[in-house]
Every structure is written in C-alpha cells, then in structure tokens.
Chain A
Amino acid sequence: IVGGAPVKIKEASWMVSIQKGNSHWCGGSLVREDWVLTDKQCFSSCVPDLAEYSVWMGFLHLNDTGREESEKQVLKISHVVCGPEGSNLALLKLSGAALQTENVRTIPLPVTGCAIPEHTNCTMYGWGETKGTGHDGIMKVVQLPIVSNERCNAYHRGSLPITESRLCAGGKRDEGVCEKDYGGSLVCEEGDFKVVVGVSVHGRGCARSNRPAIFVNVPYYAEWIHKVFKYYS
C-alpha cells in the first residue's frame, strides 16, 4: 500500500497473505472459513503446483516471530477454482477451515449486482510495496474513493477496458495499491457493516495521479461465488 497507515489487527481480520515459498506474494480475503477470494494472476495457472503456496492469517507483521506468531494461522491450499472467463478471480479452497478468532474473521460478500455510489470512501488493505511511504512488512490500509466506470475509462483514456465486471477507486498521487497488494480486498462500509466489493488485480503502475486502481467488481461475480460454495463445499 502506497501512503495510508498501519492497520490494527481486528480491523482487517479477513485479510490473508498468500505466501509463495515462504514470502508474501499476494493478498486475499477470507470469505468463508475455508475459502479465500483472490486474483487469479497470483497463480501461474488454474492448476498450479500448490506445494509452494500457503495462506497466512491473523497477523500484521510479515516478519514478526514474537507474540503475534501464536495468533497466526497457516493453512495450505487444496484447490484453486478459477473464476469465469475474463474475471481474473480465483477462489482458493483451503485444506481446512480457519479457526474463527478475534483476529481471524470472514468478510461478507455484497448483494449480487449491487453498486457503491461514486465518491464513497472505501478501504484497501495489504502488505505490498509502499514505494518509500513507510511501514514496509506491516499490513497497511488506505482510503480510496469510488470512481464511476465512465470517469475511470476517461482517466485511463480507453487504454484499459473498464467493463461492468470492473470497478475503480483511488486516483490520488502516492495513495493506492501496489505490487503484492494484488488479490487483496477493497472493502466498503455502511455503519459497522463491511462488505468486500473489489478484488485488486494486477494493474499498471501504483498510486498514480488520475489513474484510479482497477478492481474486480465482486457484486458482478457474487452469483458465481455462491454457486462455487454451493457445489464445491
């Protein structure tokens, strides 16, 4: 996360770090006790060699071996279910259910086909690149305003197809998502109720002025997610 601030653990208890060979590789969201929603591009294919991957949750510091270590849960991935063609989504079936604790909680999915009004401030979380803005290796959070697809398309000057399967947020210089935040969640809040509305996908550049970050529009794919839960569980 470029800009933003460190997170307190309970504030982002659904966030997981997808580890590849024991180093942080991508973000992800615990959407059920045994399912993680992430970016398909975090994997080389829909049938990757899963031996090298694991999922960490319930922690803030990537390299902390102290007190936090006992709270951390590490699970293997048993299966990758790739999303519909062009979605860039993947659901990861975990080898077991995550234990729900104060620091590990699932995040609700949004209503199918819903939309977040433009200018709503939503929140992105991750352990990715900070571009010198500090707190490397710690989960960070940044506020990003929702940008309509129409304006987002104009910002990107048509170079990226912003279809109804995508949504945009951010666009301020030095505030946004970056490498290794991909797969993580854009979360919007109403009262105390949070939902995951976006999954950060690999994009072009980080936190550039007038270049809002692009996310997979989770409400657009919510039916698919529920259908996977229904038949794969």
Chain B
Amino acid sequence: KHPRRNSLHDYRKSDGIHLFKTDSSLLTKSKSLSEVKCARRCSRNKGLSFICRAFHFDQKTRKCHWLSFDSNTPGVKKEQDFSFDLYEKKDYTRECIIGEGSSYKGIKSVTKTGLKCQAWASSVPHDHNFLPSRFKRKDLKENYCRNPNNETSGPWCYTTDPDIRHQSCEIPQCSEVECMTCNGENYRGPMDHTETGKECQRWDLTRPHKHTFHPKRYPDKGLNDNYCRNPDNRLRPWCFTLDPQTPWEYCNIKVCDVNAKTDIDTTTKCFRGQGEQYRGTVAVTPDGVQCQRWDSQFPHNHSYTPENYKCQDLRENYCRNPDGAELPWCFTVDTKVRTAFCTNIPRCDTEPPATEECFEGNGEEYRGHLSKTRSGVPCAMWEDNLDRSSATNSEIASLENNFCRNPDKDKHGPWCYTNNSSVPWDYCMIKPCKPSSNVIPTKSDPSQISCFRHKRIR
C-alpha cells in the first residue's frame, strides 16, 4: 500500500525568508497548522479564495500563512526573518520542465523564435478553444507559455504573429538547465526526478525512505528540497525516490562539454592543500612500495576506478586524492598494505620543486644529491648494500648516503639500490646533459667482438 504523497514535495523551501507585499491587492490567509497540512491545503487550494502560490511557516508560533503571490510576483519584497520558512510552489518559480511540462506555471511568454505570445483569453489574432474559462485547472494566465494539451514539444502558446498560429516556447528540461562535471558532486541544479522518471524524496524528510543525509547534517552538499545531488561520491547525482519499493536511483543530468575549472589549480611536482588537484606521476609510497594501478583490482579490491571517478585523473598507479583525504594516496602492491599516503610528494608551499639535474658521459662523475629511482622509489643507503656490490675501494669512496651513483660504470647512467624487494635496483630520475653523440656508428667502426663466445652452462 502506497503511503500518501507528502505535498511538501511540490515546494521549494527557503530558510529564514519572509515575503513582504507592497501591493495591497495581494491576498493572504493564516491558520495554525503543521507544515505538511499547510502545504496540502495550498496545493489543493482548499478553503482559499485565491490561488495559493506559496506559504510561510512561522516556526515560533507554528502558524501557516498562505500567499497568493511568490517571490517573482511584482510588488513583493524578500526579507530575512529567521522565524519564517518560505515554501514556494516549484511550478511557479522554476523556468524548466520535467517531461512534457504540463504542470509548468512559469512566466515565459515568448516562443522559441522570439514571437510574443497571444493572451489565452484573447481570440486575436488567433481564434481558439483553450480559453481560461473553459480550462480552469490549466492555469492559462496572461500570455504565459503553457501545455494544456500535453504536447510532446512542451509548453507553447498562440503567437501574436497572424501568420504563425502557435509555436513551442522551447522551455528547457530541468535536467539540462544546469550541467554537471565529473561525478556531479557540485551539481546544484533543479532536477528532481530520477532517470526512470520517479519523483525524488525531499532530503529533509525520512519517508518513505529513512536515511541520514539530512540537509542540516551536510550543509555543504546542497541537499535542498528533493533535488538530485551526490553527497557521497557515487557515480552521478541521485536521490531517494517516493516509490517505497525503490530506495534510490540515479538521475539523468546533462554533462558539461568542458570542465572550465580544470588546470587552474593543477600541480605536478608538488601538491597544494589536500592534493586533490595533484596530477603528477609519483607512483610509489614513502617506503618504496609500488602503487597498485587504479584500474586493477589486484591485490586490493576497491571502487576507486577511473570510470567511477572521471575527473580525478586516476591514470596508471599515480598517487591521487579522489576522496578528499588528507593527502594524495594510493593502493599498494603489497598485499599487507592496502593504502598508503604519498608523503614523499612535497608540498608546493614548503618545498620548491627540485631543479633539473643532468649527468655527463655515463654519469660516473655525478656527485649530486638525487636519491630516487626513475619510478620514484627512494634509494637505499650504499653502505647497507656493499656486500652486493663489486665496487673497488676508490669506487666505494664515492658512494655517499643513498645518492644516485654509477660505481660499475653502467653505460645507461647513475643508479641505486632500493629497499623495495620488487625493485632491488634501478636507474635514477636523471638524464644525460647532452644526448649521445655516437648516434650513427661510422663505417670504419664495426665491433670486432664475436657474439658466440658463450659456452652452455648448466
């Protein structure tokens, strides 16, 4: 059995707002009633001598004030008064439609090509049957665009051009008046129906579905009325539905063509704030453990996939902060360490990016202080690895701390050992100062060494 629909779903609530009328012809009526009953009476116009467009609810006196006007009506001023909550009928205040827009009661009066609408009560220049007196429930006021016959193209009107009888007003769908980026966490648009057309439940109500996303608990998540929102990092904006059998559903919101905010705060060498805009390539934890790829579920299962977090740039296995954590982080390839913060990325304001370094020749003479491999794994101390090395005493002398060096004259440049068992050693994040000059071997310099001196060994 479906519970009765709460009439508050028809209203847009503004906390602490009171409408003050300067035009005395505007009507009001008051009575002590609950918010819900107040809304129901306004929606049904029961016992009212005017069409109710909004109501105030006085939180102090618990009194309801029905209004024949809303904040868009001429001769009305908005005032701040914390004892009042203003509820305005959405149909009158929003300039967008859901579906065919049969309930649209906005004030647009121009067609899609810019023609002024003919008043519904007029028969000039076009004679017609949609007279306000015959269709009292269709709100055929003034010359406002309406959809009294459920046209699929939405609200329309007869035009004042004698050659064009009627035309659509092309009032946008509520799903399209505001577009969303990424997962729609910042979407604050007016869509209040799910992708299957179910009406959303108000966030400040807990029926038919109980939940904890109360607007006062999450003041920064835009949980106004019953609009589609994404307060918890789901794939897209969503809402609880008024269908008792369907707790929640996603909403279909238009995606913005470009994310205008991209790149402004992006950093690659260091991170600012919590590093949500860090887009660098560090892919290893401070302990030297490789990060797990975001698109992999091994060794750790997770939901932080590039598909789920479209604007978080979850490429490869780079450290990122898709969830508003303190710092960029990653899942690690170590089965025993699920996640780790990448504290090895410097903060932009405390540590300037390292200056570019390079090495001459094969880097044998390099004496710089670089101590990371090309994939960002910290180098291990040389003195802890001398038993692994076949370096001579003079070579050992150059092996300071954990700096990148080339004690074995490796032609590919400086390298170091690491404490990471999956990367025992690797080349360092440093390039030759000059590209190799022996790009094309000369004709007179072929190697004389035979390739076949090997003997098969067991």
Contacts and interface: CB of A to CB of B under 8 A. Distances in A.
A115 B290 contact: no
B60 interface: no
A219 B440 CA distance: 16
Contacts of A111: 449-454
B450 A46 contact: no
A187 to B, nearest CB: 11
Contact of B412 (A50, A84, A117, A193): A84
A51 B301 CA distance: 13
Nearest to A49: B296
Contacts of A85: 374, 412-413, 427, 431
B440 A47 contact: no
Contacts of A195: 451-452, 454
Main secondary structure of the interface of B (DSSP, over half): loop
Contacts of A87: 412
Contact of B316 (A47, A109, A163, A188): A47
Nearest to A162: B440
A224 B291 CA distance: 25
A74 to B, nearest CB: 18
A79 B422 contact: yes
Nearest to B415: A227
Given A49-B293, A114-B451, A108 B456 contact: yes
A47 B456 contact: no
A213 to B, nearest CB: 18
A98 interface: no
A84 B451 CA distance: 21
B296 A51 contact: yes
B2 interface: no
B436 interface: yes
B454 A47 contact: no
Given A49-B293, A49-B296, A163 B436 contact: yes
A164 B316 contact: no
A197 interface: yes
Given A48-B293, A195-B454, A231 B447 contact: no
A164 B435 CA distance: 13
Interface string B387-401: 010000000000000
Contacts of A48: 293
Contacts of A117: 446
Interface residues of B, number: 41
A164 to B, nearest CB: 5
Interface string B424-451: 1101000100001011111100111111
A96 interface: no
Interface string B164-186: 00000000000000000000000
A73 B448 CA distance: 39
A191 B448 CA distance: 19
Interface stretch (A8-16, A17-25, A146-154, A169-177): A146-154
For B291, B440, B456, which residue has the most chain A Cβ atoms within 10 angstroms?
B440
Interface string A210-222: 0000000001000
Interface in B283-324: 283, 290-291, 293, 295-298, 316-317
Interface string A46-68: 11111100000000000000000
A79 B375 CA distance: 14
A70 interface: no
Contacts of B446: 115, 117, 148
A232 B424 contact: yes
Nearest to A93: B422
B447 to A, nearest CB: 4
B411 interface: yes
Contacts of B431: 85
B410 interface: yes
B361 to A, nearest CB: 15
A203 interface: no
A102 interface: no
Contact of A163 (B298, B408, B439, B451): B439
Contacts of A113: 447, 449
Contacts of B422: 79
B441 A193 contact: no
B449 A114 contact: yes
A98 B412 CA distance: 30
B196 to A, nearest CB: 34
Given A85-B427, A150-B441, A162-B440, A51 B298 contact: yes
B441 to A, nearest CB: 5
A151 to B, nearest CB: 9
A149 B374 CA distance: 30
B374 to A, nearest CB: 7
A75 interface: no
Interface in A70-113: 79, 84-85, 87, 108-111, 113
A94 B408 CA distance: 27
Given A163-B436, A223-B410, A47 B451 contact: no
Given A45-B316, A48-B293, A109 B454 contact: yes
Contacts of B449: 111, 113-115, 219
Contacts of A149: 440-441
A34 B127 CA distance: 89
B381 to A, nearest CB: 16
Contacts of B450: 111, 114, 190
Contacts of B439: 161, 163
A116 interface: yes
A51 B297 CA distance: 9
A188 B440 contact: no
Given A108-B456, A111-B449, 18 more contacts: A46-B375, A47-B290, A47-B316, A49-B296, A84-B412, A85-B374, A111-B450, A111-B454, A113-B447, A114-B449, A114-B451, A114-B453, A116-B451, A150-B442, A193-B452, A197-B451, A227-B410, A231-B388
6 contacts: A51-B297, A111-B449, A115-B447, A193-B452, A219-B447, A231-B424
Interface of A: 45-51, 79, 84-85, 87, 108-111, 113-117, 148-150, 153, 161-164, 188, 190-191, 193, 195, 197, 219, 223-224, 227, 231-232
